[in-house]
Structures are given as C-alpha cells and as structure tokens.
A and B are shown apart, each in its own frame.
Chain A
Amino acid sequence: MKSNKTVEEINKKIRQGDAVVITAEEVSKMALTLSPEEIINEVDVVTTATFGPMCSSGAFLNFGHSDPPIRMEEISLNNVPASGGLAAVDTFIGATETAKDDPYYGGAHVIYDLIDGKDVLLKARAKGTDCYPRKEIDTYINKKEINEMILFNPRNAYQNYPAATNTTSSTKYTYMGILLPGLGNVTYSTSGELSPLLNDPELRTIGIGTKILLGGAEGFVAWNGTQFNTVRPKNKFGIPTINAATLAVIGNMKDMSTEFIRPAVYEKYGVSIFVGIGIPIPLLNKDIVRTVSIRNEQIETTICDYGRNGHPALGKTNYQQLQSGYIELGGERIQTAPLSSLYKARIIAEDLKNRIQRKKFFLTEPVQLFPKNTSLNGLKIRGKDYE
C-alpha cells in the first residue's frame, strides 16, 4: 500500500463505494493505538464540523423585477434594513442587522424565515427614474418566488478562539455569553478536535474552492475569511493558541435546512446566527494524518479577561479541560461552558460522512491555497493623510 494518495484516487474509491470515511473524533481515538502509516492504509477521508454563532454572515438576494420596475434604494425585510446599494433588485442582508422595532429580530431571523419557506415582508423606496419609474413597493416574498438567495459569510469557522472569563465585580453581557463576576465562569466556542481548521492547521487541503457542507447543503470556501491571521503563536503541536485563520464561505440558501442555520440573540449584545459547517479532509499523506489525529488535550487556547479593555490574557488551557466542565485558574476551580454545539457538530460530521459513503459528495482540490504570512491591522483613529 502506498502512503501517498491524490484527491482523484480518493474520489475514484468513493465512486466505487470503497472509500473509508471517519470523523475527526474517531481518527483521534484511532491514533491512540495505530500509527499514521496504519491509519492512511485504512482511512481515506476524515470529516470535521462546527456549529456555532458566527456573526460575520449574511445573504445576497435577488427579488426579480416588478411591473413597472423599481430601482430599490431603501430596503427592509420584515422591518430589518438591507443594503440599497446593489443595483435595482439585488440586496445583501447582514445577519446581525436588527429590526427597527424589535431588538429580538434581525437579519439572522430573516435568513431563517426565508430558508423555512415563510413569507417575508419586502418594503422598498426609490426616487424613480425614466427606466425605473416606480417609487415604492410593499409586497411579500418567499424562497420559491425570488430568483436567488445566496448565503455568503465573510468570516466563519475560526481556527481556535480565546476562552472568555471576567475578573471584574460586575456581570458582563458579551458575544461570549453571560460572564459572571469574579471569575464566575469561563465560556469557549470551538468544537475542539472536531473543528475544521484545527484539523488542517497549515491549511494544506482546505483552500479557495473547497467543497463543504454549509447550512446542511453543499457549499464552497469562497476565499480566506476576513481577519485571516496566519502568524499567531503556535504550540508544539502546530496549533495556534488563539484565534487565527478564518473562512469566507458561500452556498445556495434555497437548499439549506433550518436544522443547521439558527438565529441567535445574545442578551445586551444583539443578533447573531448559528451556522453549521462540515469540511472533509482527504488523507493524502502521513503528515495530514498526523494533523487530523490531534486530540483535545493537545489543542490549547488562551483564557482572556472579557471584563477588561483589550481582553488581556490570563493564561492557557486546553479543550479536554474546557470540555470537562471546569478548569483551574490561579488555584481556583472555575465552571466552564461552551457556546458552540458539539452535539450539532457531530451530527454534521456524521451527515458528511454518510454523504461521502453513499457517493453523494465528492472531494475537491483547492483551486488556490490561502495566502501565507498574513497578519491583522487595527483601526487607527487619525486625520486625513498628508497629500
């Protein structure tokens, strides 16, 4: 048996019904007793998944033209503002946008209602032009009637994320959940050894054009995600110990399921959206076997104080500890809780596994790999540059 495979060879095995597919949790367990050589001889594909709140998400919609037509300039969907800056009847609705009259309803809910097949109220205003004379429209739209609904999320599937706690004396309401005062709890938000980018830390198989499961349907990696950072400190297992790489993902919302896209509202923070993502990793060589074999105790993250400005780091922990229900920090035992659903992530990883085994999902090679050595800029507050 040779220990290097190509994506094409693996796809051939899938077509013949011979491919062996297991989840990233299963391979991590397997690696306790088998060597990378033995694993690559037995297994062809490992499935990874995550289901967590991902604020940087949204949808492009095309409504079709009315008669007489309108060049929509001010648009709302169920009273949630959408972009009026995209041609006549295209729009983008951001998941975190909030309804004008209801802080518990936002863009995420519009996306959910559209996937669910519900009627959504579209209101638009315009100045009226010779070619688009209509000045206003009030109507209902749904999944069946509109031309396209495309989920496009500029930043999803973070490769690792800090765990959050709060050293101050007041409760903090954050996107990391409710943080109780005086180190009252710790929250974290990745699926650990099942998480996509933690299984491919060097981004060797996941790149632009990789086919994935997005919201329960086939989708693609469109680009590197925003705030893509590949120069974060890494531990001895090659894992960045704080948020690093990200993915921009795209998929046909008409095919998606409300099981894997859910609106979320965090108290005193606002609207977000749970997104389910599954990514297959082809076992092309022993080195990739080694990276997918990573275990929770080897994946470390930084504990940050979300009670204070700049979220200063307080220490490190790993996902085995975080998933055990408590961690020790400075001699104290602190209760931990996740914000992303391991339960749902497992369903997605199993679903992807079944699709590949039933020859419904084939693997892709990236059209282009992600950039290397990219870091982040902060936002400076400054006057206009000297001419």
Chain B
Amino acid sequence: MSKKYILKFRPSAVEEPVTYCLIKEYDIRVNILRAEIYPGKSGIMLVELDANSIKLKQAISFLQHKDIEVIPFEKRIHLEIEKCVHCGACTAVCCTSALSILNEKSELVFTPDKCVACGLCVKACPLQLFQLQFEE
C-alpha cells in the first residue's frame, strides 16, 4: 500500500539520512513530493511511502523514534465540498487529476490520494474552499 505523510524534522534530525534508512532497512519505496527547510534548519517534507502495511508501521515508528513528527497527509488538505458550485476552475491547475469534473454529472470529484500538495487549487478556487497546510 502507498500512503502520503508529512514529516516534520527538528533541527537535530535534519542531518539524519532517514530516507536512506527507510529504503535500505525497511524496504520502502520513498517518493519525495515536496521538501522545505526553514531557517534554524527545521524541515518539512511531503512523502509517499509504498510498502506492505507491517513494514510501513515499522518505518513510521522508526521515524517517530528519530524525533520526526509523522502526520498522515489527508488531515492536512481540506475542501469544503458542500459549498462547491462545480465550476471547475480548480481543475484547470491540478496536474495530477486529484480534482476532476470529467464525469456524467460534471460534478467536482476530489481524490486526496492523487494530490501532491502543489497548492495551486487554493488560489484557483473563486470560492476559496481549499485549505492546504504545508508549513511549520
């Protein structure tokens, strides 16, 4: 299974070769979707981790042991779908088809699994219905 997580690093953990360990020790396919380092050297990363669920669990506890905060990504992007007018403006900027209206009813369908947190939909929605938190 593949899941997306936000990893928050303290300054002390930034130097650690965690992605190397994840791949080498836990046999996890790591896809880094976005990474930022802030002044003072704390860091934040959006990753997609692909492995069986036992390995994934072990890897997450390894990360937590290294003092890295692991936050499932779904919790960080929010769309107030009940207010949506299905105009489609957000789909113009979504290059992963996480947002799509290509269906029978021309209704907006949001698939958080496909989202790479580019943040463009936040600006594109004329009703300001997206909230994306990818920062400290």
Contact = CB atoms under 8 A, between A and B. Distances in A.
Nearest to B88: A338
A339 B87 contact: yes
A53 B87 CA distance: 9
Contacts of B100: 325
B87 A265 contact: no
Contact of B85 (A51, A104, A180, A272): A51
A104 B87 contact: no
Nearest to B123: A267
Contacts, number: 81
Contact of A177 (B89, B101, B102): B89
Chain B binding surface, main DSSP class = loop
B92 A53 contact: no
B95 A335 contact: yes
Interface stretch (B16-24, B63-71, B124-132): B124-132
A344 interface: yes
Contact of A337 (B92, B105, B107, B128): B92
B85 A341 contact: yes
Contacts of B86: 341-344
Given A178-B120, A325-B102, A339 B127 contact: no
Interface residues of B, number: 22
Nearest to A338: B88
Given A178-B92, A178-B93, A343-B106, A267 B124 contact: yes
Contacts of A274: 85, 87, 126
A259 to B, nearest CB: 9
Contacts of A338: 87-89, 101, 106
Interface of A: 51-53, 104, 173, 177-180, 185, 187, 262-267, 272, 274, 323-325, 335-344, 346
Interface of B: 85-89, 91-93, 95, 100-102, 105-108, 120, 123-124, 126-128
